[in-house]
Copies of this chain bind each other. A is one copy, B any other.
Amino acid sequence: MELKECMNFLLSVSQNKVFKYFSKLLEEHGVTPAQYGVLNCLWREGQLSPKQIGTMVYLEAPTISGILDKMQKAGLIERSVDPNSRRNVLVSATPKAYELREKIEAATRTMNEKVLENLSETEKEGLKKGLESIINAEF
């Protein structure tokens, strides 16, 4: 098989390239792509448990815990005790994170447009559907 037919190769090289580009765009707002994923969930849903966030961004508990620690130090999120169940932690975005929302969402749109700009509508659809199907498949 030629390397350009290997799905792992195609995904790794394209992901690495897009990740570097997106990281650079987000850098001036002081957030990383993974932190953007967490903020996206919190902006939409309000308060969430670390477990709920992990499910939404497809990351495991220890990884999410590390990301949340850094975000708390950077003043982007707060953790509080769930009043309904004192053993649970709830995470919410800080006012500082809400102030950054518009700029971060603009950076995300810029990244998406740049990444998709040379593709036909059919290719864009196939690409998104294909990636979603891989994410939802059992293997």
Contacts and interface: CB of A to CB of B under 8 A. Distances in A.
A100 B13 CA distance: 24
A53 to B, nearest CB: 11
Nearest to A122: B126
Interface residues of A, number: 56
- Chain A interface main SS type: helix
A127 B133 CA distance: 11
A135 B7 CA distance: 13
A128 B10 contact: yes
Copies in the complex: 2
A12 B15 contact: yes
Contacts of A131: 10-11, 13-14, 127
Given A8-B22, A19-B11, A137-B118, A3 B37 contact: yes
25 contacts: A1-B112, A2-B40, A3-B37, A3-B56, A3-B57, A4-B132, A6-B36, A7-B18, A7-B116, A8-B22, A10-B131, A11-B15, A11-B131, A12-B19, A13-B57, A13-B58, A17-B58, A17-B139, A114-B137, A115-B139, A119-B130, A122-B122, A122-B126, A124-B126, A127-B131
